[in-house]
A and B are shown apart, each in its own frame.
Chain A
Amino acid sequence: MHLLIRCTIFAALIAALTQPSLLHHAGRPEPIVILDQRSSLSPSARVQAAEAARVLLNQTPGSGVLIQLGGAPLSVQTAHRTVLKEGADANSLSAALAEALNALPLGGSGEITAITDGASRDRHWDGVVEALLRRGVPVNTIALQPAPREAFIADVRLSAPGAGERLLVTVDLEGANQALSLAVHEGDRQLAVSSDFAVDGSRSVDLAVPPQTPGFHPLRIELSHAGQLADHVETVAVIQDALPVLYASGRQGGGGRFLQQLLGPGVAVRETTPAAVADLIRERRYAGLVLDDVPATRLWPVAQRQLMHTVQEDGMGLFVSGGEAAFSSGGYFGAPLASALPVTIRQDQKSEDPSVALVVVIDTSGSMLGAPLDLGKQAARLAIRTLGPADSVGVVEFYGGRQWVTPLQPARNIPEIERAISRVQAQGGSEHLFDALQEAYYGLKNTEARYKHILIISDAGVEPDRYPELIRHMAQEQVTTSTLLVGGDVAGETRMAQWARLGRGRFYSVRDEFSLVELNLKQPQEKPEPGYRRGAFPLRTTSNAPWWRDVNLGGMPPLEGYARAGERPEAQTFLRTSKGDPILASWQYGAGRVTALMTEPVGEGTRSWSAWPTYGAWLSRAVARTMDRRPGFDVQVIRYFDHLVISAQRLRATGGDAPEIRLVGLDGVATGVSAEEKAPGLFIADLSFEPSRPALVEVQADGRLERVASPAFSDIVADGPVPQSKGLPLAQLARLTGGTHLANPSEADSLILKASGELGATDLWSWLCWFALALYLTELAYRRWPSRPAFARQERVP
């Protein structure tokens, strides 16, 4: 026994040397409670919250963790307590949740209960939520009702207009109050002010600020109550650069400058030549092209197709205008660009009777005596009957000599000329056709007529001469020659046919009166009717055209000239003449828009419009609506305390060069920022940035600039009341983490906290040492026990 005890002692000491520890589960819930006692809550809510916290913590008195946001420390027994004092820390629910999670060591399976109204000075709870989900820690939430508050500015949202456009400021308000007003200031200038309004709960108020210059504009939004300043917010407005527009004109010298004056600051006009258009639009840096009075001969079909492709595929806007050199007058009928226009190019034809000067050279030699001369005179009379007062006619007879039967004169008195022809008699003598031809030629040469013609009536029995040379020469001088053979023989027929051919005329052979044909020397011609019309053309607008809802179109003067075109049913026609001819039409062409203005915007057709006060606004609206106003990038700026993340997603085409991202300082100096391309066209820059500085970001690519601004402290509520709209959605948090949501603190006792998996550890070293001590004392007692004579005999060592 003695030996046994002693061995046990040694075993205990050896075990103690290994320093063993015993791990055990706590076995009871150890609640972790976040208690909101901030002054933003009503007194009754704070009391209810405190009572709920006591109920939870008293489930296990003396254990549990309390994290209190503001207020006086709660009188309750806890194992650990943290009080976040009222101010920045106390207003951060994300910090409170992180603190609560930190109370749970790795492997601990507790749960957190948050008794709060959800308001938080920042929304950066993404990291702690990820940790909660990763560790499987449920969060129970008990909702508190916020106290009624005076109206304050919860958020300010700004549009991002371009130059010349008004800025829309949307102010979200929370709280309750009446007789409120909002004002927008830039420095000492008041830019906009609202009328009085009231808030009860939440509402949004819009304010329109007049157009500002491109750039960053620090603004101050002030909320006043009964004339006294109640709240204010500093922010930064962004005005984008003017729309870059290319202007190519065929006739309007310096038209770009005038157009810029008309269109105002919202558009930046760059003037170029039609020949340079193809190269410039390939750069993809322009919102659109204004093609003003450019004829088709100066914009080759290849360039037209490229232009159409750019509009259709890239979305570039195209504004086509003009008069005498555009549309049908410009030769666009059948051109590639015609199919892209919102009007149909009309190629009207008109029938035109050209003026004719005719000299009939009639053979009155002896060989023509009798029937041949009669036939000849009949043919001559037939030929001159087709002439009109605008024409000229003369008759020359030749026999041994030549003479004018009637001199070349306007064909106003045809019957008289016919009578003169009838009086012609056959005379003997040699036939001097050559001289007669010359006579006729010289007579015609000095006559003003569209067509000059000689008709030779003969039996071909003439003296040989250099007829072919003369006739050929006359033809070259635009005096044509036709021949009419009366009677005659084959040789004569051949000769006279040759003369007609050389004279670019016709050959007729008349043998008897039955073979007389009407000599129609006057052929009406179809000519293109001029597409441009001059005059005074009053216009009628499409009622309530959306493009000009806020533009007063009253007093629109008549046009002084316009190009005629047909209306396309698929397009929208906004303006027409009183007779229905389209003047302004527009339609979607693929990704882009094409607008046609059937007159010169800075030329003859709108000469009187310069006096119309609304002309500039009207035209700039039409141009702006046509142009591609889509940004090149979608730029987001996200603040995370002292970090700034700039995200720029290319919206147009991928594969272009990386954008240049810059941060602009308050002094206007820009500093480049390096970005990584995380996905096709998506560039991310992540950098340290002071929360107190506004982040003014510029993204430059493809010759275009996008601006985005993030005011200082935009991700947190540095001071003042915390908006509920930016709060943590408690029910969602509970649902997401597997916790329970209670809408009322009085229901806190229904929360049964599960036993914690918290581990505890007890060192066994001490216990083993004391166990060894106890065994030693036991052995001592055993040694000294009186009634052990046998032992006394055994223990004695000889």
Chain B
Amino acid sequence: MPPKALWDRFRDWLAYLFILVIALVLWVAGAQPEIQVGRANQRQIFYLDASAAMMGDDAFDRAKRALIADVRATPAEQREVYLGDGGGTRLLSPGENVALLIRRLSGVAAAARPSEFEAWALAHVAKPPTALRYYGAWAAAKDLAARRPDGVLLSYGYLAPPTPGNRGVVNLGVTPAASGDWTRADVQVEAVAADGRTIGAGDLRFSRNGTVLAPTVLPLGRGRFRLDGLEADGRLLTVTLKAGDGFPADDTASIRLPDHRPIRVSLSPGVPSTIRDIVRLDTAFQITPVEKAEVVMGREGESLRVDKPAFVLTPRQEGATFAFTVTHPEEEARVHLPSGLARLGLGEADAEGLADRLVRPVSVDVAVGPRRFVSVWSSIFDQDADFAKSANLPLFVSQSLRWLADRDPWIAYAQAGARLSDQSGLYGLGEDRRIAARALNGEVRVGAAGVEDFDGLPLAVSLTDRRQTLAAAEPPPPDAVRRIERRGLPDLMFRLLVLAAAGLLLVEWRAFLRGAIT
């Protein structure tokens, strides 16, 4: 055979055919053809639940693998993937490469917070028809399944195995001690078992900052226990079920007792005896020299430390409007003082009595200054003043000093995923500034169990979800999990074309080597 020429026409029709077919197959394979069978426009939403229900063993990893496999089997333009991390975070948008899903899921783990699947689904899945595929725990999906919202086709890609006989701590809260001692707190714990068994005090272990604690536990019945008069020293109180189980997220709960160690107060010589006695007798305060004091009290004109929060008695000035002035730094959220005097511990009678004495209405002014400051007309505290004989006087003095000291707030409980209950306004002068700053004129919602920081205030958050604990033992219906229907042949076509191309290339190569083609 004569040597070939590049531009000569093919004389070997078989070689020509091979070239054409191979080129065509490679070209088509590169175009990634897909054959869609069935409804091509149905929106397919995948929801991977990363709540506490998925914290058992390797449930979350299994769910991830099932999710990825199902997502791959779904045409890219139809699929949306979300992560149930409390906010329904988007994992994959329609048309996005599944490699992004894999990348975004790397390092993601379930967190100890309640599932928000039902609420999310009802809020977001509003455009029927929608196929919603859930990967999580039956406890989180059963309510939505029971509601059967219109236009939503709910299916399950993975359901975590139940934990029969699950037990967990479902409540852990703290309030000021019933004894009235501000430096102490009462704590209440509740633990339940899904199978109805009673949990006794011996089933619980208490620790404080990691050190085992042996407090006096008062059983209240039905798995509830109270610990009275614990020292409110800012340490972390943890209660743990001694015997763990397959669902560990609810076996431990922690709460940080507020730091209410005695407030160091310095009293200048000008402080009247009515106030001096109150501070001396209240266990919440400790009279110290001014150098060690957190709060200073004195009269205007005395040499007071200007760099510390202060309670100052001022002479009544003609023309001055406000008998009480509360000053706070500009960066603090506004102290929510009601227009009345109730938060200053002044009842209506006292306010009226004061007004009579001062011959003017009594009201409170809130001002901005470099630090916290309370100023009051000194004549209010005169021995013969009605206010000096009122029960509200100690209340006013103590609440003012505590506010000035800016101690920890009374957080009754901190439940994962729930609204934060700040009772500072109930037991003190107003809301805590750090909580208020986070609230942004609304409420505060905490995240998953763990430690959250509020501008330097560490908050211990626990799962403590009764519904979650009881539902963790519920088994899903049999055969609830179904494999996704693979209506399309997206990747198969590509693979077949590539394999075909490879096969043709092999045959062609073989034929060429044998000289059958040129």
Give me the interface of A with B, judged by CB distance under 8 Å.
6, 9-10, 13-14, 16-17, 19, 21, 23, 98, 101-107, 123-131, 134-135, 170, 204, 544, 546-547, 549, 570-572, 587-588, 591, 593, 625, 634, 638, 640, 645, 647, 649, 653-655, 676-682, 684, 726-729, 732-733, 736, 759-763, 765-767, 769-770, 772-773, 776-777, 780-781, 783-786, 788-789, 792, 795-797
Contact = CB atoms under 8 A, between A and B. Distances in A.
Nearest to B513: A797
Interface of B: 3-6, 8, 19, 22-23, 26-27, 29-32, 83, 85-93, 96-100, 103-105, 108, 171, 173-175, 178, 186-188, 190, 220, 224, 226, 333, 339, 349-350, 352-353, 355-356, 386, 389-391, 412-413, 415, 419, 421, 423, 426, 437-447, 466, 491, 494-495, 498-499, 501-502, 505, 509, 512-515, 518
A628 B60 CA distance: 56
B87 A776 contact: no
A127 B442 contact: no
B99 A761 contact: yes
Contacts of B333: 732
22 contacts: A19-B491, A23-B103, A101-B87, A102-B90, A105-B93, A123-B442, A131-B89, A546-B349, A549-B352, A640-B419, A654-B175, A654-B186, A677-B188, A682-B175, A759-B104, A763-B32, A765-B30, A769-B29, A772-B501, A776-B26, A777-B23, A781-B6
A13 B501 contact: yes
B123 to A, nearest CB: 9
Nearest to B108: A106
Given A124-B443, A130-B447, A678-B173, A572 B386 contact: yes
Nearest to A652: B178
A126 B413 contact: no
Nearest to B333: A732
Contacts of A6: 505, 509
B353 A106 contact: no
A97 B518 CA distance: 67
A587 B440 CA distance: 43
Contact of A786 (B6, B104, B175, B437): B6
Contacts of B390: 588
Contacts of A789: 3
A547 B90 CA distance: 63
The 10 A-B residue pairs whose C-beta atoms are closest, nearest first, are A679-B173, A761-B97, A21-B99, A769-B30, A131-B87, A123-B442, A126-B445, A546-B352, A546-B353, A773-B26
B389 A570 contact: yes
Given A106-B85, A106-B105, 8 more contacts: A101-B87, A102-B89, A106-B89, A678-B171, A682-B421, A773-B26, A776-B22, A786-B5
A9 B514 contact: no
Contacts of A760: 100
A797 B244 CA distance: 75
A736 B26 contact: no
A13 B413 contact: no
Contacts of B108: 106
Contacts of B89: 101-102, 105-106, 131, 135
A16 B27 CA distance: 13
Nearest to A95: B123
Chain B interface helix/strand/loop/mixed? mixed
Contacts of B501: 13, 769, 772
Task: Please indicate which of the listed interface residues A135, A549, A680, A784 has the most CB atoms of chain B within 10 Å of its own CB.
Answer: A680
A763 B22 contact: no
Contact of A134 (B27, B86, B466, B495): B86
B349 A625 contact: yes
A759 B103 contact: yes
Task: Please indicate which of the listed interface residues B31, B105, B352 has the most CB atoms of chain A within 10 Å of its own CB.
Answer: B352
Contact of A680 (B88, B186, B356, B505): B186
A593 B386 CA distance: 14
A401 B438 CA distance: 115
B199 to A, nearest CB: 16
Nearest to A654: B178
B475 to A, nearest CB: 25
Given A780-B19, A797-B513, A676 B505 contact: no
A10 B505 contact: yes
B447 A728 contact: no
A204 B338 CA distance: 13
Nearest to B497: A769
Nearest to A773: B26
A211 to B, nearest CB: 16
A369 to B, nearest CB: 80
Nearest to B391: A588
Given A6-B505, A678-B173, A776-B26, A765 B441 contact: no
A727 B440 CA distance: 9
Contact of A783 (B4, B22, B437, B466): B4
A505 B518 CA distance: 165
Contacts of A728: 440-442
Contact of B32 (A102, A677, A766): A766
A142 to B, nearest CB: 17
A732 B173 contact: no
A572 B389 contact: yes
A102 B88 contact: yes
Nearest to A548: B352
Contact of A126 (B29, B186, B419, B494): B419
Contacts of B443: 123-124, 126, 638
Given A105-B92, A679-B413, A23 B100 contact: yes
Nearest to B390: A588
Contacts of A13: 498, 501-502, 505
A16 B29 contact: yes
B505 A765 contact: no
A105 B90 contact: yes
A107 B89 CA distance: 10
A285 to B, nearest CB: 19
A729 B440 contact: yes
B442 A125 contact: yes
A134 B447 contact: yes
Nearest to A125: B442
A776 B23 contact: yes
Contacts of A107: 103-104
Contacts of B26: 769-770, 772-773, 776
